[in-house]
Amino acid sequence: MFVRDPYSRLWSAYLDKFFLPDFWRTYAKNIVLRRHERSLKADICHHDVTFEEFLTYVVDLKDEPGVLNEHWRPIQHICNPCEFRPHLLGKQESFAQDAKYVLHYFNLDYLLPSYDHNVHVEEELRMLIKYNYRLLKQKHYDGCITKQELAGKLWSVFEFNGYLPLGSKTILDATSNYTMNSFTDLVLKTHRNSPKTQAEWRRQRTEAMTAAYKSISNDVIEGLQETFKMDFIHFNYDPIPPGKRV
């Protein structure tokens, strides 16, 4: 069984599903409709959900965990360790080390040399680009987001996730309607030409998440602490989010 820090899960879900357009047709619509005042574009596209709006939505549904999407549902309501009783528990934060132990435990050590972090990162970059560009073919996104705007959003997410250097989005040509292939080539070239260590990329990712939580109201944070209380306890995660720690 592998788990992840609740605050990291929520930030990642927001970036992948709301900052990027994946859930604009579904969950984002539910969140936008909660507003007292909405722009015409928000009514149609549901494109501008904020991080705090998303977190508030999660907190408001804490008593209905079955309604929460698996990307942000507390682990205790997905795979309760008290009932499932796993033999092995790994964490996303120490995935490489924990996966190595699990493979060794099952006598699968021969799989270890095949893992390459840089290859994994590039596969993830390609996958996210391909998936989101394909979304543009769906009718809902007509008039809601252009290829140029999608490229900018993807680039920002890659900076937040520690895959591209901060501020490097200036490389993008503001007048260019990037195709999926041309944008992928530019992203991979920029990533490969950035001589940062894994620790430096990780620090950049942590700083972005810290800045995001720093602006969240204390009421929402307290709601998250209650919603994910058992995850914090079961898996020994800090209930105080980055950006709020002294």
Three-state DSSP class for residue 56: helix
Q: What is the pLDDT of residue 115?
A: 65
Distance from C-alpha of 184 to C-alpha of 190, rounded to nearest angstrom: 10
pLDDT in tens, the chain (246 residues): 888 899 999 999 999 999 999 999 999 999 999 999 999 999 999 999 999 999 999 999 998 988 899 999 998 888 877 777 877 787 878 777 877 888 888 888 877 766 677 888 999 999 999 999 999 999 999 999 999 999 999 999 999 999 999 999 998 887 678 899 999 999 999 999 987 888 899 999 999 999 999 999 999 999 999 999 999 999 999 999 998 876
Looking from the CA of 119 toward its CB, the CA atoms found within 13 Å total: 4
Helix (H) or strand (E) holding 2: strand 2-3
**0.85 cut: is pTM over it?**
yes
Q: What is the pLDDT of residue 83?
A: 77
Distance from C-alpha of 56 to C-alpha of 28, rounded to nearest angstrom: 12
User: By the 8 A CB rule, do 164 and 51 touch?
Assistant: no
Q: What is the pLDDT of residue 25?
A: 95
User: By the 8 A CB rule, do 6 and 237 touch?
Assistant: yes
The amino acid at residue 97 is Q
Q: What are phi and psi of 15, to 5 degrees?
A: -65, -50
